[in-house]
Amino acid sequence: GRPVCECNNCYSGPDCSQFRPNCSADATSGDPLFLQPYWRRHAEGSAVVISGWHRMSYDADGRPYMTLELERHIRLLHKLVGNAAAEGKQIVFGAGSTQLLNAALHALAPDNSSSPSSVVATVPYYPAYQTQTEYWRSKVFEWKGATAEWLNSTEASTKDFIEFVTSPNNPDGRWQAPALAGSAVIHDRAYYWPHYSAIKSPADDDLMLFTLSKITGHAGSRFGWALIKDVKVYNKILQYIDTDTLGISRETQLRALKVLKQTISQIKKSEDMFRFGYSQIRNRWIKLNAIVSSSDRFSLQKLSPEYCNYFRTTRDPSPAYAWVKCERKADEDCSSAIRAGGIIPRAGTLYGADSRYVRLSLIRSQDDFDQLLTRMKALTAQ
């Protein structure tokens, strides 16, 4: 049996065995439980035991809070996967990359400017860029919406702009590039890993964010990191983390180290986590495509095969999310149409997009995905 806290939306009872027939399939958050079967297989090798005396200090290895061993393994991981040039860059740990999004804005916004920097992202964008920026109502930056709105404006050349650029993008898996000349850029690389994307070359941008959540699936550990080229930006991000939380839980760092060590030890071997992850999502993407293409009610984003340096072959798409368009006039409110069919989606409007779009998560548990398929089959048959 499974602990009750792990029952998905359609099961209940002490061992999650009672099916709730009228339940909706949960396709909302990007909770990366698709990797849980991998860690069940490697339960022993990934277990962490922490004695009472261990890692009690504010400091780690005589430094403010980041253990050297973990930093070393992060650099090694990037090198082995080939997704980022970590050499010569500074690293700062964060409580997930969620904490680092805001730290990065503080670091890039000039604090001696007479007006706040304008924060923008290309539609469809990850909603936290907007919700966080608006929530803190900072004096040094403010949310200014879609990048496209500012492309040919005079403001774009006279004001400070900060762009969030997400490659591959959440929600549609497409490759993004900065669009405004001279803008400061936060490159969110949460999905630039072999389970979701072809690894084309080591990304070498000034400021890049990564999260353990989307690499090993340990979203609950709340661990991410920034790779930073410029020392001034590094110091400001470090200052933010010091001011906010005095660093990242040392227990979290031990767990991150353990699961990354396991990941690294199997790279390109028989128990490669990335290969496992890729095959899971690839399989889900094929199944969903087959159902969606059986009718004209919905369509999915089009993605192409690409050569992947990690797998050393051309690789078919395996996006973390389906970016679904409702094609019929009656389904203008796509979110409601999908909900009526017993699926809980994320509305496209949250991503700055049209209400004809919704996002469905493909990286949740197998139960969530199976229920999603059943419901989609019924919806397309209507």
**How is residue 196 written in tokens?**
């979701």
What's the distance, Cα to Cα, between the start and end of the chain in Å?
36
Nearest to 343 by CA among 381, 370, 382: 370
**What is d(CA 171, CA 325) in angstroms, rounded to the nearest whole number?**
12
Three-class SS of residue 58?
coil
The owner of tokens 């082995």 is 80
In this chain, which stretch among 51-59, 173-181, 211-219, 245-253 interacts with ligand PMP, using CB under 6 A?
Answer: 211-219
Nearest to ligand PMP of 190, 238 (CB atom): 190
Q: Nearer Cβ to ligand PMP, position 126 or 369?
A: 126
> Closer CB to ligand PMP, residue 190 or residue 254?
190
Stretch that binds ligand PMP, among 59-67, 91-99, 138-146, 361-369 (CB under 6 A): 91-99
How far is the C-alpha of 269 from the C-alpha of 262, rounded, in Å?
Answer: 12
Instruction: Name residues contacting ligand PMP, limited to 117-156 (CB under 6 A).
Output: 126
Q: Which of 224, 247, 277, 319 binds ligand PMP (CB under 6 A)?
A: 224
- Of 12-20, 93-101, 274-282, 342-350: span binding ligand PMP (CB under 6 A): 93-101
| Residue 235 interacting with ligand PMP (CB under 6 A) | no
Identify the residue among 12, 36, 98, 299 touching ligand PMP (CB under 6 A).
98
Please give the angle made by the CA atoms of 28, 29 and 30, to the nearest 5 degrees.
Answer: 130
Among 35, 60, 179, 219, binds ligand PMP (CB under 6 A): 219
Asked if 120 contacts 163 with a C-beta cutoff of 8 angstroms, the reply is: yes
CA atoms within 13 A on the CB side of 218: 22
Interacting residue with ligand PMP among 166, 266, 280, 361 (CB under 6 A):
166
Q: Which is nearer to ligand PMP, 70 or 190 (CB)?
A: 190
Residues 25-84 that bind ligand PMP (CB under 6 A): 30
- The yes or no reply on residue 211 touching ligand PMP (CB under 6 A) is yes
State how far the alpha carbon of 204 is from the alpha carbons of 213, 312, 353, in Å: 21, 20, 29
The answer to the question of residue 341 lying near ligand PMP (CB under 6 A) is no
* Residues 291/327, Cβ–Cβ less than 8 Å: no
Q: How far is the CB of 381 from ligand PMP (least distance, A)?
A: 31
- Are the CB atoms for 361 and 275 separated by under 8 Å? no
Class of residue 57 by CB neighbours under 10 A (exposed 0-12, middle 13-18, buried 19+): exposed
**Which stretches within the chain are classed as H helix?**
36-41, 68-81, 96-108, 128-136, 155-158, 212-215, 231-245, 250-265, 273-292, 334-340, 366-381
Instruction: Tell me the closest approach of the beta carbon of residue 117 to ligand PMP, in angstroms.
Output: 20
Which range in 92-100, 110-118, 260-268, 322-330 contacts ligand PMP by CB under 6 A?
Answer: 92-100
Q: Where are the alpha helices (DSSP H) in 30-112?
A: 36-41, 68-81, 96-108
**Total residues at interface with ligand PMP (CB under 6 A):** 13
Query: Residue with the closest Cβ to ligand PMP?
Result: 96
Closest CB to ligand PMP among 159 and 250?
250
Q: List binders of ligand PMP among 298-327 (CB under 6 A).
A: none
Nearest distance from C-beta of residue 240 to ligand PMP, angstroms: 15
Give yes or no for residue 170 binding ligand PMP (CB under 6 A): yes
Of the pair 159, 189, the CB lying nearest ligand PMP is at: 189
Q: Which chain residues interact with ligand PMP by CB under 6 A?
A: 30, 96-98, 126, 166, 170, 188, 190, 211, 213, 219, 224
